[in-house]
């Protein structure tokens, strides 16, 4: 792709400009961040609270609602299933054994994202729901979905939200209730 460009025609880097940007990043950004924190603490409290206004920040008009990791939170279906057919194509090329791919095979595919290993490690921990060191098709699809979310610039959660847990890995609350009730 880069072979089509003539780098000799690119404007040269201005050393003075780079030095001033470096200086600004080293000195001014820290001060700016302190000012932002100070401004946030001085922000007036909400004028109205409680009653109908309780929890309104989490409504559909809240910041980031329905984006990134929150996408599909109020959907009937598993949000990952919308792209699962594409993820399944990749999954079956990785030679699953007994319906699962090894960590080594998953790693080869996941590193194609070019995300740092620390991020991929976090994605692995979130996706390997049964913690067996392998991924089934749903866990693999979840990992690919989380990679997509991260590549779109969103943060990853520390714990997987319930709406992202693969359907076959969800606990059935009615079965748990029946099981726990029958022991009484």
Q: Among all chains, which residue has been given the structure tokens 């009730």?
A: 181
CA–CA gap between residue 36 and residue 72 (Å, rounded): 32
**pLDDT of 177:** 45
CATH homologous superfamily of 78-172: EF-hand (1.10.238.10)
**pLDDT of 179:** 42
The two structure tokens encoding residue 18: 């780079």
**pLDDT of 184:** 44
Intervals of the chain under pLDDT 50: 56, 175-184
- Contact (CB, 8 A) for 141 and 83: yes
Give the residue extent of every domain in the chain. Answer: 13-41, 78-172
**pLDDT of 27:** 76
**pLDDT of 31:** 76
The pTM of this model reads 0.61
- Contact (CB, 8 A) for 75 and 164: no
Query: By C-alpha distance, which of 108, 105, 110 is closest to 124?
Result: 110
């Amino acid at each position: 792709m880069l072979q089509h460009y003539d780098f000799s025609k690119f404007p040269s880097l201005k050393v003075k400009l780079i030095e001033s940007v470096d200086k600004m990043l080293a000195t001014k950004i820290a001060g700016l961040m302190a000012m932002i924190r100070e401004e946030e603490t001085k922000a007036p409290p909400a004028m109205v609270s409680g009653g109908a206004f309780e929890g309104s920040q989490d409504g559909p008009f809240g910041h980031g609602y329905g984006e990134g990791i929150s996408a599909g939170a109020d959907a009937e279906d598993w949000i990952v299933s919308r792209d699962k057919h594409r993820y399944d194509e990749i999954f079956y090329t990785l030679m699953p054994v007994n319906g699962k791919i090894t960590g080594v095979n998953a790693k080869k595919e996941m590193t194609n994202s070019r995300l740092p290993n620390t991020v991929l490690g976090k994605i692995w921990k979130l996706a390997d729901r049964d913690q067996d060191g392998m991924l089934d098709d749903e866990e693999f699809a979840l990992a690919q979905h989380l990679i997509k979310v991260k590549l779109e610039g969103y943060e990853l959660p520390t714990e997987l939200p319930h709406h992202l847990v693969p359907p076959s890995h969800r606990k059935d609350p009615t079965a748990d209730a029946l099981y726990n009730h029958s022991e009484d």
